[in-house]
Amino acid sequence: MCEALVEMALQRAEQVRAMATEETHAELARAHAEADRLLAQARAEGISAAEWIASLQLAAARREAHERVLHARRCAYERLRREAVDALVQRATSTEGRMLAERLSALVSERLGDDASVQRSGPDSLVVEARAGKRRAAIGPASLVDHVLLSMTDEIEGLWA
């Protein structure tokens, strides 16, 4: 009878061991599956974060490049303007410069009427000023160049295309 009890205990122990082994394998399989899922999720989140960071860096680089282009355009425009004004000032004493000063005097006089007092800021200057009562008009190389450049907006914009 003792032998029968020992045999039953051994069989029961073998069943418990087999069930524990089976449960261990199942739990291990679940743990592997969860680890694989977590790893895939982490990879996807990492890729998503990297793409987001890369898009932010790309946007910043594009913004900086655009700002540099705008700065270069502004510098080119300012240089063109400055050189045009300088060229007019240098020609003020020439025959063409004197003729231009006379046309500018007539222009500001027309704007303010026949009773306007017109004067140049100097004999070799293209700066012309007129006054009629409380009204005043003035034109010079800088405003003349600005007016011409403003009339050439399409041509100037075409340079950047």
pLDDT, one tens digit per residue, over 5-40 is 788 888 888 898 889 899 999 999 999 999 999 999
Mean pLDDT calculated for residue range 44-66: 96
What does the alpha-carbon distance between residue 55 and residue 49 come to, in Å, rounded to a whole number?
Answer: 10
Q: Tell me if 15 is assigned to some domain.
A: no
Average pLDDT over residues 57-75: 96
pLDDT of 159 strictly over 90: no
Question: What does pTM read for this prediction?
Answer: 0.66
Residue 97: inside a domain: yes
Query: pLDDT tens, 90-136?
Result: 998 899 988 998 898 888 888 888 888 988 887 778 888 989 989 99
72 domain-assigned: yes
Considering the domain boundaries, does residue 129 fall inside one?
yes
Q: Is residue 22 part of a domain?
A: no
Q: How many domains does the chain have?
A: 1
What is the extent of the structural domain holding 46?
39-160
In a domain, 123, yes or no: yes
The two beta strands, 117-120 and 128-132, are antiparallel
The reported pLDDT for the residue numbered 23 is 92
Confirm whether 16 is domain-assigned: no
pLDDT value of position 63: 97
In angstroms, rounded to a whole number, what is the distance separating the alpha carbons of residues 125 and 48? 66
Number of H helices, E strands in the chain: 4, 3
Residue 73 resides in a domain: yes
